[in-house]
Structure 1
Amino acid sequence: MEQWKINLIVLWFGQFLVNAGMTMILPFMSLYLQFDLGLTDPHEIGVWAGIIFAGNFVTSFIFQPIWGKYADRYGRKVMLLRSGFGMAVVMALMGFATTPWHLLLLRMLNGTISGFNPASVSLVSATTPKNKTGFAMGTLQSGGIAGTILGPLIGGLLADTIGYRPIFYLTGSLMFAASLLALWVVKDPFNRSAAAKAEQDSVREGLLKLAKIPGLMPLYAVTFLIQFAMMSPMTLIPLFVQELHGTTANLALWAGMVSSATGLSNMIASPLLGKLSDRVGSERILGVSLVGAAVCFVPQALSHTVWQLLLSRFALGIFLGGLNPTVNALIRKYTPDSMVGRAYSFNSSTLALGNMVGPIVGGALSGPVGIQGLFVLSAASLSGGTVWVWQTLLRRRKPASRL
């Protein structure tokens, strides 16, 4: 088997395990704070859960560009292993937390050393043939999405059987295993001697150089808009499901189904749309997917039953499957080899920024406009991204990329 395929398979499982491990703790975070860390006031538990959840993204936003710079200097695999083994240790330590402060600091430390996913994307993009990049990016994303979908389900089941603390130990062990597999099997054709001779820029200088590359800044903007559009209504969806369902019977089941529908269709569509983008061009798939995703938010705002919401969320996931993979493929297309690590790390920072800003804006606007208004806001955000992509990428697309 060709090495790029081996890298893709191993890192698919790596992304699955890392994303499953990161999301496995979400279903019982508030319960962990209540039963194991001693909090009793419901409001206090809610505040701490939100702060602890956001802590990871705050430090990730700050440190990702730094790790990207080191990836271009010392190699992508080195950064992959640094992040994998580091997060494995931190995740296991969360099981020993005795106060909310311990958990918050560990989550912030986890964001500081994180970077397994962007390092995986960078490594796969660097080792995959150009005409297979879209397929590889879509396939790799499907692994992360699969972990994101199954992680909460696995975590919820394990919490009822083995308790909360052992899940952190198990998650750390899975991340450690994924990192070991990458250490033994993944190959990175990185020329360290050539990288050492290259001019070493600061993070700021690297960003200024990347900003001069045509097409790269619009892709960062699209990444932010995707995450902002997805996250701004996300925390209110269970309450919307409750409003539509009209009863507490099987409420958790319906809320879980609605939440999983987008991820399920995303996982299925990502490799297919990635492969199609290799034939018709990533720019075209990105434009169509942005339009489709924007349109799919409108019926969510107009839903009167849970089934209508579920089907709209499933349709949304199909178009989301054509967004992040094509963005990653285009970043690789436009970026010089010497700056690939930094290019993906800045994109990861932009993604973390969307994860932070989205829930904050959604929470602030939930009172004045309601969740229906947030769905419309998400549609408007992606529509704005569509116009930008059309102006900056599609209009200057070369005829050679046509069918």
Structure 2
Amino acid sequence: MINSLAENKLAPNSWQRNLRVLWFGTFMAGIGFSEVMPFLSLYVDSLGKFTHNELSLYSGLAFAASYFVTALASPFWGKLADRTGRKLMLIRASAGMAIVFIFMGLVMNVWQLIGLRLLQGVFSGYISNANALIATQVPKRRSGQALGMLVTGNVSGALFGPLLGGTLASIFSYRVTFFITGFLFVMVFLVTTIFVKEDFKPTAKSEMLNTRGVVGELSNAKLVFGMFVTTMIIQAANNSIVPILSLYVRQIMDNSSATTFYSGIVAAVPGIATLFAAPLLGRVGDRIGTDRILIIGFILAISVYVPMAFVTNVWQLIGLRFIIGVANAAMLPAVQAILAKNTPPQVTGRVFSWNQSFQAMGNVAGPMIGSVVATSFDYSGVFLSTAILVVINLALVYHNTREMRQARKI
């Protein structure tokens, strides 16, 4: 058996120190990833003279490129993490991102930017490896609480990032903001290198399990792969409304001059709810069953997405979006906790990297679904189609977690 429980040689509470350090790392990574998003299309526009259609195409490519490559590259990095350790992958990801963002500030044309966005996908994996490292170190009975706490780092960073990025870009320039983002990842690299502790014995390449061997190590492979699909659908549902959210706000506000301001609130409020609710729901899931929390999250999301299609003012939408944030706090950490509780340490890196691939596929598929539905029907149709996605996910999860429910009855 490979390398089995080397991580458990750490001091009993070392995972708590690592959790604090990685919370900071994921917070800074969340800022770094999100702070360039508000002006990325504007940066594309500054790199040449484009028609409206060309600008839309190049901006779309710049946004989607990193997610597409992440989906392809994650399994490779996951396999390497199981052979060399998760800390090394955290260092690799943070150093790579620092270099990529600094070079993004130096590009001379849009194709160089798209190429670097593709390279950004190659250097993905900080968040997934942070989850994997904590999952291998935290006691299983507390994994929901720990992973719920870790989620808040990335969420809070992603909330703060657009505000910081927009402010920096307005004070300095787009290029300087990319340099500052690169410096943030340098900080993540240094903090991770110095403070994260992992007692990991490297495994010889010849002793590594192939994909079939990894699946064989899983006590419930059907559940684990079901969680991959669940992750993809959660991300697709969350992102399906992204392309039309500001347009929907403008519609229900009758083209008000305050549309931009309220669009920002509507976009940010789910993250605020997730930030506060995730640790609490993680602890509750550890007590009553993580699968129950996940199912509750789906039911809550379904009950909210449907009325979103029929709101008559922006405050109704803001209130419902806050509840979606609570639902996300139930769903996202719960999936991570179920994976952690059903994955042996020696293959955790690959399992979490496969999950990241499915997450990236959801990030790509969601906006495409939303755009197609909005074009064929209307903005309200996007919320209804998203509710249908969540219903499908609920049915899959209820079926896949049947053994967990039966085990509790024994």
TM-score (normalised: structure 2): 0.93
Aligned twin of 1:34: 45
CA deviation string 1:178-224 (max 9, x = no partner): 111111111112222xx338732345764687697131111111101
Residues 14-53 of structure 1 mapped to structure 2, 5 A cutoff = 14-35=25-46, 37-53=47-63
1:228 and 2:236 aligned = yes
Runs (5+) with no aligned partner, structure 1: none
Match of 1:245 among 233, 253, 278: 253
Contact 2:143 2:341 in 1 (8 A): no
- Alpha-carbon distance in 1 for matches of 2:17, 2:85: 18
Residues 45-194 of structure 1 mapped to structure 2, 5 A cutoff = 45-192=55-202
Shift of 1:285: 0.6
Contact 2:218 2:344 in 1 (8 A): no
Give the stretch that moved more between structures: 305-314 or 365-374.
365-374
CA deviation string 1:223-275 (max 9, x = no partner): 01101111112110000000011134121101000000111101111111111
- Alpha-carbon distance in 1 for matches of 2:70, 2:165: 23
Shift of 1:114: 0.9
Match of 1:271 among 268, 279, 282: 279
Runs (5+) with no aligned partner, structure 2: 1-11
**Residue type matched to 2:16 in 1?**
K
1:334 and 2:342 aligned = yes
Shift of 1:281: 1.3
- Alpha-carbon distance in 2 for matches of 1:263, 1:179: 25
CA deviation string 1:348-385 (max 9, x = no partner): 00000001111112212212122211111111111111
Contact 1:284 1:394 in 2 (8 A): no
Aligned twin of 2:8: none
SS of aligned partner of 1:92: helix
TM-score (normalised: structure 1): 0.95
- Alpha-carbon distance in 1 for matches of 2:215, 2:269: 36
**Residue type matched to 1:302 in 2?**
F
Aligned twin of 1:201: 209
Aligned twin of 1:9: 20
- Alpha-carbon distance in 1 for matches of 2:221, 2:206: 19
Match of 1:362 among 370, 373, 381: 370
- Alpha-carbon distance in 1 for matches of 2:52, 2:323: 35
Aligned twin of 2:352: 344
- Alpha-carbon distance in 1 for matches of 2:175, 2:363: 26
1:254 and 2:265 aligned = no
Shift of 1:106: 0.2
Give the stretch that moved more between structures: 305-314 or 393-402.
393-402
Going from structure 1 to structure 2, the CA distance change for 1:216 and 1:399 (only over 3 Å counts) comes to closer
- Alpha-carbon distance in 1 for matches of 2:222, 2:117: 36
SS of aligned partner of 1:96: coil
Going from structure 1 to structure 2, the CA distance change for 1:401 and 1:119 (only over 3 Å counts) comes to farther
- Alpha-carbon distance in 2 for matches of 1:366, 1:173: 39
CA RMSD of aligned residues (A): 1.9
**Residue type matched to 2:204 in 1?**
A
**Residue type matched to 2:258 in 1?**
N
**Residue type matched to 1:234 in 2?**
V
